[in-house]
A and B are shown apart, each in its own frame.
Chain A
Amino acid sequence: EAQVTQNPRYLITVTGKKLTVTCSQNMNHEYMSWYRQDPGLGLRQIYYSMNVEVTDKGDVPEGYKVSRKEKRNFPLILESPSPNQTSLYFCASRDTGKDTQYFGPGTRLTVL
């Protein structure tokens, strides 16, 4: 089954404790992206990647890092999480030449 998976689905952590949210897709897509979804603000792009080793900032990159060492994986790293990073995070991938973006199931992160 073609899908985007994220882990963990739920995470509660404390300020300053480094964490990684993993994202993996099995569709051989080159383009991957991270969004966060907040009430009243909608979905906003954090980072995106056009291909392996090619990443760039989206609209709200502060406090986040990403890496793209393999085509299928695009982890989101929070080096020192803060409470304002409490949010619902979605990973997405897109097939080259098509406009459909496939979203993962989401990771609900709470930073205390």
Chain B
Amino acid sequence: QKEVEQDPGPLSVPEGAIVSLNCTYSNSAFQYFMWYRQYSRKGPELLMYTYSSGNKEDGRFTAQVDKSSKYISLFIRDSQPSDSATYLCAMRRSGGSNYKLTFGKGTLLTVNP
């Protein structure tokens, strides 16, 4: 079983739709959870960062973490064509000297005007 599982999609939605992206993980040592957005031919950029279980909201984006189920989600409200990108979940363990991120494979999202 891979440490982080993410459905690669692709996911295609109409403009204005609510998008739900998800990852599951197997290692309970993961304590920090992130969502990165990667546009075509660009490097990943941090979108959301959460530590504890629960919800974190930033504008149209909401990150949700359920540590008991080892499940994280990203919701995008009122999706826009500019949201079309690959979304990568990432997580890391606490402690240690390496801030290595373990990534999901990414979900390709297309928002159609």
Contact B103–A42 (Cβ < 8 Å): yes
Q: Quick one: which of B32, B44, B88, B101 contacts A45, CB cutoff 8 A? A: B101
B90 closest partner in A (C-beta): A43
**Is there a chain B Cβ closer than 8 Å to A20's Cβ?**
no
Verify B100–A48 contact, CB threshold 8 A: yes
Which B residues are CB-close (under 8 A) to A103?
36, 43-45
Which residues of B26-57 have CB atoms within 8 Å of chain A's CB atoms? 32, 34, 36, 41-46, 49
29 A–B pairs (Cβ distance < 8 Å), ordered by A:
A31-B99, A33-B99, A41-B105, A42-B4, A42-B88, A42-B103, A42-B105, A43-B90, A45-B98, A48-B99, A48-B100, A50-B97, A50-B98, A56-B98, A58-B98, A58-B100, A59-B100, A94-B99, A99-B49, A99-B92, A100-B46, A100-B49, A101-B101, A103-B36, A103-B43, A104-B43, A105-B43, A106-B41, A106-B42
Residues of A within 8 A of B (CB): 4, 31, 33, 40-45, 48, 50, 56, 58-59, 90, 92, 94, 99-101, 103-106
CB nearest neighbor in A for B45: A103
Give every chain B residue within 8 A of A31 (Cβ-Cβ).
99
B23 shortest CB reach to chain A, Å: 11
Q: Is A33 within 8 A of B43, CB to CB? A: no
Residues from 78 to 96 in B contacting A, C-beta threshold 8 Å:
88, 90, 92
9 nearest CB pairs, A to B: A103-B43, A42-B105, A43-B103, A42-B103, A45-B100, A103-B44, A100-B46, A105-B43, A104-B43
Min Cβ gap A89→B in Å is 10
Q: How far is the CB of B63 from chain A (nearest CB, A)?
A: 13
Of A4, A44, A92, A101, most buried by chain B (CB within 10 Å of CB) is A101
In whole angstroms, how far apart are the Cα atoms of A31 and B46 in the complex?
16
| Complexed CA–CA distance, A39 and B88 (Å) | 13
A103 vs B90: C-alpha distance when bound (angstroms)? 13
B98 touches A99 (CB 8 A): no
- Which B residues touch A94, using CB under 8 A? 99
